[in-house]
Amino acid sequence: MEFEWSDIKVFLAVANSGSLSAAAIQLNKSQPTVGRRIEKLEKQLAVTLFTRTPYGYELTAHAQALMASASKMQRSCEEFEARALTLQNQTTGTVKLACGESFAKLLTSNLTSLTNLFPDITLHIETGFHFSNLEKCEADIAIRSRKATSQNLITRSLGSCRYAIYATTDYISKNPAARSEERLHACRWISYCDVDRPLPPNQWLSRHVEPDQIKLRCTSLTTILQAVSNGQGLAVLPCFMATTYSELEQCSPVLDDCKQDVWLVLSRNVSRVPAIKAVSQWITRLFDSSLDGCFEVKTIT
């Protein structure tokens, strides 16, 4: 069978948005055109890809099985386009990116892969809990923990961040309970100061650990990591960040009830600016390459 990439692109747009109308806006096509492209692809594949429900278009089991391959095709096409842009020598300018401090560390640790391709791009990374308004041009791109609903914004799933419990090898050797369920009441714990902040570690600790077991509260993830690295106790940490600290050891399996969806968001008005497009595609490829045990691929959005 010979497929057109544009049909796969339509399939992904409907899968990620959940409706023909939203996919049509994203692709700058009419809704009937999007519907016809889906019908054409279903006919070629001889399978049904979507089930129409009162809540939108849901992926069938066949479609779920195809999502990973379709997403790889998308990333390959984006990489092809990014390399073509470098040959045109037109990818210059400043890109403003808003994200949390943990993702900022992931990005800056892998920045060489961007600067080698696009040395003339200037990247401004803003961290913190201030919510940058992309529609008011406070940032060009954002990495967020919730999906944007505005039709003026393009949203793409980067996966789900996984968490586990970590401590230093020295702390574990002195406190063997850290490796068992006894850790919940027998060990020192480290957390954020603001217990009401809706962060996955806070929510997990509120369900499993008594407040008097939390002996240190910090305002930032960087401070928590420093405290854990200094042997002050246990903490629930994002796996992709904790694994970069050689002195830390994972004390638990990945916590099934502690994860955080991660979304790439950018304004539709600037999505075709070469520098912004190049950075957004680089972020997508970076998260894809960081999925090994640290992120869970999200196939239905």
Tokens of 129: 């809990």
The answer for residues whose C-beta is within 8 angstroms of residue 44's C-beta and 6 or more apart is 1, 3, 7
pLDDT top residue among 89 and 250:
250
207: number of CA atoms within 13 Å, CB side? Answer: 11
> CA-to-CA distance for 86 and 75, rounded, in angstroms?
17
List pLDDT tens digits, range 221-278: 889 999 999 999 999 999 988 988 999 999 999 999 998 889 999 988 888 888 998 8
Predicted pLDDT of residue 25 = 82
| Residue 115: strand, helix, or coil | helix
Task: Show the domains of the chain with their CATH numbers.
Answer: 5-72 (1.10.10.10), 90-154+260-296 (3.40.190.10), 161-250 (3.40.190.10)
Report the C-alpha gap between 24 and 242 in whole angstroms: 40
Nearest to 1 by CA among 48, 42, 34: 42
pLDDT classification of 301: cutoffs 50, 70, 90:
very low
pLDDT at 295: 74
Extract the tokens encoding 136: 């008011």
**pTM score, two decimals?**
0.65
Dihedrals phi, psi of 250, to nearest 5 degrees: -80, 120
Residues 6+ apart with CB under 8 A from 194: 202, 219
